[in-house]
Chains A and B, each alone.
Chain A
Amino acid sequence: MEKNPFKMLNEEVKEVNRYADINERIKALINSSKILLFMKGNPQQPMCGFSANVCAMLAQMGVEFKSFDILSDEGIRQGVKEYSNWPTYPQLYVNGELIGGNDIITEMYHSGELETLFKK
């Protein structure tokens, strides 16, 4: 019983922290690798054709990248969409900057722009 006020207080603070955490977590994720892919599933088992397509292009180019499965975390899934002002997945980040989803990455892959970007 005597724990109750503390619990209430913690819950309030927790909400604030959780909100701050999401953006911090997103930033940390984006900066955790030169190339980071937010996708559905993982490169070994993509859960969406577009995610699979982007993984295949990156594998073809032989670049190292990290991925994050947005199906595993609803907070991140919603948070990244707002963070980037981009409504869909996959999302590819290079050097902390959103480069594009499947359409853009496919276009840049074929034009050679993607390779140029990775060399920077």
Chain B
Amino acid sequence: MEFENVKSLIKNKIPDADVTVIDLTGTKDHLGLEIVSNEFTGKRLIQQHQMIMDILKEELNQNIIHAVQIKTMTKEQKEKQNGKESL
């Protein structure tokens, strides 16, 4: 599946999301997704991941995407991470 399509699927549901897609296997069906959004604030990790899995449900059921590795964080968490990396 084209990465731009994955991005727009997610952004349609979570407009403030910054989405990064990585091809984990070179076959465009094992995707690494990093999603940064303030919609995740106050939610458990499992709920954050469920939000993303729900959005990609059709693609996963039809095996257009075989597997996803999800990383979710709020914008504040992302900034903290960036801060650590630049130290």
Contacts and interface: CB of A to CB of B under 8 A. Distances in A.
A and B found bound together:
yes
Classify the interface of chain B: helix, strand, loop or mixed: helix
Contacts of B49: 100, 103-104
A86 B45 contact: no
Classify the interface of chain A: helix, strand, loop or mixed: mixed
Interface in A91-106: 98-100, 103-104
Given A100-B45, A107-B45, A86 B50 contact: yes
A99 B69 contact: no
A108 B50 contact: no
Interface of A: 85-87, 98-100, 103-104, 107-108
Interface of B: 44-46, 49-50, 53-54, 60, 69-71
Given A85-B50, A87-B53, A99-B46, 6 more contacts: A86-B53, A98-B46, A99-B44, A100-B45, A100-B49, A103-B49
